[in-house]
Amino acid sequence: MNLDDIKKLNPNDFSNWPLIPKAVALCILFMLILFAGYWFDWQNQLSELDAAKQKETQLRESFLAKKKQAVNLDAYRSQLKDLELAFGALIKQLPNKAEMDALLTDINQAGLGRGLEFELFKPAEKEIFSEFYAERPIAVRVTGNYHDLGAFTSDVSRLPRIVTLSDINITPGAHALTMSATAKTYRYLDEDELATQKAAQKKAEKSKEAKK
């Protein structure tokens, strides 16, 4: 069959076409139907299918993560309990407001007990407030020999309440060494002070949001 034979085919008499042109025409028609179905319907369905597969993957990952958390729930609870106990032990090492004077006395006695001479022992007038505790720096300057100064710092570190020494500077003198340092004591806040801190924090957060 040549081009002239194809031109002579009658579109209105498809049933009498030769087998080969009829088969080719049916294939073309079938391809057009497939293309039209994809363009007008299947394309959206395939996109929805891809989206559903992605969501399925996300749900599987979420399920596995939650399953892992559920399996380790007892371990998490045990760790939380340990943290609460550790936190409680640290809180017990912080004196309350009424015990601060006794703690200052303990620091002073630790130096005197080692035979040191205090040239300066000046607690700061204002405390530095944090979320649940207050910090009070104390300017300290003592004189003594090297061994006694070392023993004093060791005694301070072993006090039942938390006391830290920072900004330590030792200078030699004619007959002894002079150590200058900042001792920091800490106490936990009472209920009224905690409420004031929370109110101040909320106010600061609102101020930041307003500036944005």
Could you tell me which residue, 143 or 99, shows the higher pLDDT? 143
Across the range 117-137, mean pLDDT stands at 87
Q: What does the pLDDT read at residue 57?
A: 82
Q: What does the pLDDT read at residue 34?
A: 74
Instruction: Give the strand pairing for 133-144 and 128-129.
Output: antiparallel
Q: Which residue has the tokens 């649940």?
A: 132
Q: What does the pLDDT read at residue 131?
A: 75
**Domain extent listing, the chain:** 93-195
Q: How far apart are CA 18 and CA 130, in angstroms?
A: 95
Q: How far apart are CA 164 and CA 128, in angstroms?
A: 15
Q: Which fold has domain 93-195?
A: Alpha-Beta Plaits (3.30.70)
Across the range 74-93, mean pLDDT stands at 66
Q: What does the pLDDT read at residue 93?
A: 60
pLDDT band at 117 (very low <50, low <70, confident <90, very high): very high
For 21-62, give the secondary structure using H, E and C.
HHHHHHHHHHHHHHHHHHHHHHHHHHHHHHHHHHHHHHHHHH
Across the range 104-132, mean pLDDT stands at 88
User: Are the C-beta atoms of 105 and 113 separated by less than 8 Å?
Assistant: no
Residue 125 has pLDDT above 60, yes or no: yes
pLDDT in tens, 7-50: 556 566 656 666 666 677 778 777 877 777 666 666 666 677 77
Q: What does the pLDDT read at residue 152?
A: 93
Q: What are the C-alpha distances in Å from 198 to residues 117, 123, 130, 131, 191?
A: 42, 26, 10, 8, 11
Predicted TM-score (pTM) of the model is 0.51
Measure CA of the first residue to CA of the last residue in the chain; give whole Å: 80
Q: What does the pLDDT read at residue 119?
A: 93
Q: What does the pLDDT read at residue 53?
A: 79
Beta strand residue intervals within the chain, DSSP E: 117-123, 128-129, 133-144, 163-172, 177-188
Q: What does the pLDDT read at residue 133?
A: 81
pLDDT in tens, 164-186: 899 999 999 888 999 999 999 88
Residue 5 has pLDDT above 60, yes or no: no
Residue 1 has pLDDT above 60, yes or no: no
Residue 144 has pLDDT above 60, yes or no: yes
Residue 2 has pLDDT above 70, yes or no: no
Q: How far apart are CA 183 and CA 156, in angstroms?
A: 9
User: Are the C-beta atoms of 182 and 140 separated by less than 8 Å?
Assistant: yes
